[in-house]
Structure 1
Amino acid sequence: MKFGPFNWYQICSSIKKVSETELKMAHMLINHLSKTFDPTMYKDDHREQLASLIQKKIMGEEINVPQIVNKSSVLDLMSALQASLNSYKKIEETKKIKTKRKSSAKQIFTGAEDTA
């Protein structure tokens, strides 16, 4: 099954004015990437697993269903933000300490006093 043919100019011009070259390029790209749908290229894993389970049930085998653990992946945004800010403060403090060390080392070598 292939979708088409569309009046590309009518569709694109109703959305936004496009140049003729842009329209031709879009049309060529869509035609180049379009192909017929082949359902044999796809495999329905869910259907196969379900059929297997049904067959096992018919044969009288016991079916073990794994327990679903309800994990909450919701983050506490306030604590994440606070942790981020704390790490930023630590970086800033480290920069200040390094700057103080550099200025004190400069004073030692040049003999200048820090007026700050």
Structure 2
Amino acid sequence: MPVSSAVRDRCRTLLRPDETIRYIFPALSVGPPGMANFLIVVSDLHVSVVATRMLRSDRPVSVYATYPRETRLGPIMLAPAPTIGLGPMTFEFDEEYAAVVAAADAEVFAPELMPLDPLPDL
């Protein structure tokens, strides 16, 4: 299920005013600093790890870490669930977001693989 526009709007308030959100997906840290819910927000400028409220993964509260946009999210490791490493952390996410991770990486590292925008005038 895509991240709702309300969650996107909440995340937007934590980013710089000139950043445009490209992708967002929920993730669970499975290593240090312990198990916690996060949102991975990929903008045109950064990859941000956004902390959420305890027991409310749809309520972002602060930017936990920021990486350059050229940071590769993959490869996706298939443990019991799909996982990625980002900085010193490991994140687990629902299988439905694997395409989001792949698209975020392709946008920077293999733009020729990105499909054409079917509605470029919107």
Specify if TM > 0.5. no
In terms of fraction of residues, the more strand-rich structure is 2
TM-score, scaled to structure 2: 0.16
What is the TM-score normalised by the length of structure 1? 0.16
